[in-house]
Amino acid sequence: MSHLKRLRPEAVAAPSSGILAVIQYAFGRDGLLPLWAGEGDLPTPDFIRAAAAEGLARGETFYTYQRGLPELRQALADYTQALYGQPQSPDRFFVTGSGMQAIQIALTALTGAGDEIVYFGPAWPNLPAAAALRGVKPVEVAFDPIAGGWQLDLDKVRDAIGEKTRALFVNTPANPTGWTATYQELEALRDMAREAGIAIIADEIYSQFFYVGERAPSFHDVMSEEDTIFFVNSFSKNWAMTGWRVGWIEAPVEFDEVIANLIQYSTSGVAAFMQRGAIAAIREGGAFVEEQTARAKIARDLFCNRLLATNRVALSPPDGAFYAFFSIDGIEDTRQAAFRIIDEANVGLAPGTAFGTAAPQFLRACFHRRLDEVEMAAERLADWIGAA
């Protein structure tokens, strides 16, 4: 008898990563420009690493607060208050072992087997996969492609919300499309959640990687105390801490004991010395974030303009996040194309098939890298497109 028969069907059915397949294929190739993963090219800044090292040197290696160090929760409240201009209590903030764990905790708190969650696609694949592992049906509302960009049909969202819907998952600015909700769209989504009596899980991790203003519109701008919103976030993108696996949840104070218990029964908290690094990131990392977002904007324009000049690419420079999501005239099988581009152009891209069924003919490039590498990758891709 196969050992697999002893596993839950949801576990066996968990999809393999379409991005990881490409990365494994090309791992270690000389001169390859890797634009496939959702991270920048810089290591964590010295001042963050030093703060973590100091905590480790002090012996901060014991069990710690499930909710997170009080200093970090206060820092998160201060950061959020400064970003959105609204008073914040540290009691609303909970430190998690990554943004992904923040999402899993929100799903655990809100949904169970047989429930549904509505999200927008093409989308980062971890959310629907995590929901399906819980026996929750992920209901995708596809963006409408408009002149290389993306538009959300609010009527489609409304129609997708049914009796089994427990939450609406909104990633804005979005991975992989760069779609960013307007204030009016956020108000409409808020109203739908109110009318249906459901919660919102707001993934606003890319809120500062926004290129048409200081920050992206947020549910913070349109919510009131009656709205049940789980904000899930991470230190990964803003402060170049992807490998640290530290994130946070912001949620109503009323959920304090529930969220603390869910952390207890999963990881029992994030290592204290790692949280010291996170405190330094929040308190001292403003200039670093500004530098990174400014560089990403230049990289966005450089990359997108070069590909558009081929006259064979459908692409709208994204308002937010740090991805170019584009299609190439005549290319339908992007999984095969991603492997060809590795072999023939030495550039690593993520195929659109990795982000669900909504846009399989698209490719994703992360342009959050050194400008000379972005320029070189764009030239290689343009040459490949011209010859394909």
- pLDDT values of the chain reduced to their tens digit, one per residue, 388 residues: 788 888 888 888 888 888 889 999 998 899 999 999 999 999 999 999 999 999 999 999 999 999 999 999 999 999 999 999 999 999 999 999 999 999 999 999 999 999 999 999 999 999 999 999 999 999 999 999 998 899 999 999 999 999 999 999 999 999 999 999 999 999 999 999 999 999 999 999 999 999 999 999 999 999 999 999 999 999 999 999 999 999 999 999 999 999 999 999 999 999 999 999 999 999 999 999 999 999 999 999 999 999 999 999 999 999 999 999 999 999 999 999 999 999 999 999 999 999 998 889 999 999 999 999 999 999 999 999 998 7
Task: Tell me which amino acid residue 184 is.
Answer: Q
User: What pLDDT was estimated at residue 211?
Assistant: 97
- Token pair, residue 318, equals 């994204």
Q: Are 66 and 264 spatial neighbours (Cβ–Cβ below 8 Å)?
A: yes
172 and 179 in contact (C-beta within 8 Å)?
A: yes
How far is C-alpha 17 from the chain's CA centre? 15
Output the pLDDT for position 138.
97
pLDDT recorded at residue 344: 97
Kindly state the tokens that stand for 108: 């655990």
Q: Which residues contact 353 (CB under 8 A, 6 or more apart)?
A: 18, 334, 335, 360
Q: Are 78 and 284 in contact (CB under 8 A)?
A: no
Question: How many Cβ atoms from other residues are within 10 Å of residue 244's Cβ?
Answer: 24
Tell the burial category of 55 from Cβ atoms under 10 Å away from its Cβ (0-12, 13-18, 19+): buried
Residue type, 191: D
Strand 313-314 versus strand 350-351 pairing type:
unpaired
